[in-house]
Amino acid sequence: MSFSVLGTGMYVPPRVVTNEDISKLVDTNDAWIMQRVGVKQRHISTNETAADMGCKAAIAALENSGVKKEEIDLILTASVSGESISPSVSCMIQNKLGVNCMTMDINAACSAFVFMLETAAGFFARGKVKKILAIGTERLSRIVDWEDRGTCVIFGDGAGAVVLEAGDNYMDAVFHVKGGDNVIDIPQPIGKSPFYEKEQKKPFIHMKGQDTFKFAVNAICHDTKQLLKQNNLTFDDIKYIVPHQANQRIIDFASVMLKVPKEKFYVNIDRFGNTSSASIPIALDEMNRQGMLQKGDLLLLPAFGGGLASAACLLRW
Ligand code: COA
């Protein structure tokens, strides 16, 4: 017993920030960003927290699923950009939704949505819950260094959510973690202890771009091939690959290396940028509402990012 997806939802803040807007902040331009990253615009929060956005995506997912908020037994939230370590983003969403259920945050950076689905599957397998709300929500504009042109052009804000109920449509997943802070690092913004002697890094996203790029392409290729192999499937069996929307070029490289046509990959990074843990549920909601997904379709969801952590799962719609 795992789960099936009953409904999807998303929310992005109304303020659209274009590449032209960013070129007024740092020395960059639309042509460079489009060629190296594939982002044309991103939505940036002006007054909403990760919990605010997550709550709106959750309400949209509940409406889409026909499930009442009182029926939810567990809220799981993935985020690296909440306002506080405690209360967790899940606790804040629970409070805003006005429900009274168990809550928990999952941190696996950009891969967290898949780690969260696996966690949800465990709760269903133990018969602990009947319905789960799983939310990825990020206000990455809060932790981006807006003076670093190597990172600020990549990321965006937003939230995506799914409502899950016990079922058999979450089929399998693979996970890989190679812990370390020398490729991607997001230090916590915590005050300086008079007793601590080491230098503290600025609380922004620090990323070695080319190392991240190589890790990401390898992860997406390795994880998807391993997952298909252990389920006796091929890419021909897959209707869509819905990857973490990190960078258009990462997806293009993976498409070439895997010999899978580009059309099989759902891509929306041009409109939203990289929204970390929110990117896959946002993509799923767009596909769902556009009527792209038919009952029985097999989806492959690969994700990769800070940790370094990567994962991929197989989901039957
Ligand atoms: N605009 C214009 N020029 C820029 C720039 C920007 N926003 N950012 C960097 N540059 C410049 C660099 O300063 C450098 O100039 P130089 O040759 O004069 O020194 C040049 O462009 C190349 O920089 P480099 O860092 O080697 O570029 P790159 O081809 O590796 O692209 C990234 C940079 C970040 C776009 C790329 O490495 C990348 O996409 N990495 C993966 C990032 C990602 O997906 N992260 C999320 C993972 S979940």
Q: Using one digit for the tens of pLDDT, what is the confidence trace for 175-185? A: 999 999 889 99
Q: What is the pLDDT of residue 162?
A: 98
250 touches ligand 1 (CB under 6 Å): yes
- Cα–Cα dist 4/178, whole Å: 30
Ligand 1 site, residue 151, Cβ cutoff 6 A: no
The residues pairing with 139 across neighbouring beta strands, listed in sequence order, are: 157
Give the pLDDT score at 122: 97
pLDDT of residue 40: 98
pLDDT in tens, 114-163: 999 999 999 999 998 999 999 999 999 999 999 999 999 999 999 999 99
For ligand 1, whether the C-beta of 148 sits within 6 Å is no
Could you list the active site residues?
110, 244, 274
Residue 39 has pLDDT above 90, yes or no: yes
Tell whether the model's pLDDT for residue 75 goes beyond 90. Answer: yes
Supply the pLDDT for residue 232: 98
The strand pair at 206-207 and 16-18 is best described as: unpaired
- Specify the pLDDT at position 190: 74
Q: Is 212 in the pocket of ligand 1 (CB under 6 A)?
A: yes
> What local confidence, expressed as pLDDT, does residue 152 receive?
97
Q: Give me the pLDDT at residue 100, please.
A: 94
pLDDT-derived band of residue 200, with 50, 70 and 90 as boundaries? confident
Q: How far is the CA of 83 from the centre of ligand 1 (A)?
A: 28
Say whether pLDDT at 189 is over 90: no
- Report pLDDT for 210: 93
Residues found in the chain: 317
* Max intra-chain CA distance, the chain: 59
Tell me the percentage of the chain whose pLDDT exceeds 70.
100
| pLDDT value at residue 1 | 85
162: nearest Cα among 87, 65, 292, 21: 65
CA of 17 from ligand 1 middle (Å) equals 19
DSSP, residue by residue, the chain: -EEEEEEEEEE--S-EEEHHHHHTTSS--HHHHHHHT--SEEE--SS--HHHHHHHHHHHHHHHHT--GGG--EEEEE-S--S-SSS-HHHHHHHHHT---EEEEE--GGGHHHHHHHHHHHHHHTT--SEEEEEEEEEGGGTS-TT-HHHHTTB-EEEEEEEEEEES-EEEEEEEE---SSSEE-----PPPTT--SPPPPSS-EE-HHHHHHHHHHHHHHHHHHHHHHTT--GGG-SEE----S-HHHHHHHHHHHT--GGGB---HHHH-B-GGGHHHHHHHHHHHTT---TT-EEEEEEEETTTEEEEEEEE-
**Mean pLDDT along residues 63-74:** 98
Which ligand 1 atom lies nearest to the CA of residue 210?
A: 37
The band of 202, judged by pLDDT with boundaries at 50, 70 and 90, is confident
Q: Does the pLDDT value for residue 300 go beyond 90?
A: yes
Q: Tens digits of per-residue pLDDT, 77-119?
A: 999 999 999 999 999 999 999 999 999 999 999 999 999 999 9
Instruction: Give, using CA atoms, the residue closest to atom 20 of ligand 1.
Output: 150
- Write out pLDDT tens, residues 268-288: 999 999 999 999 999 999 999
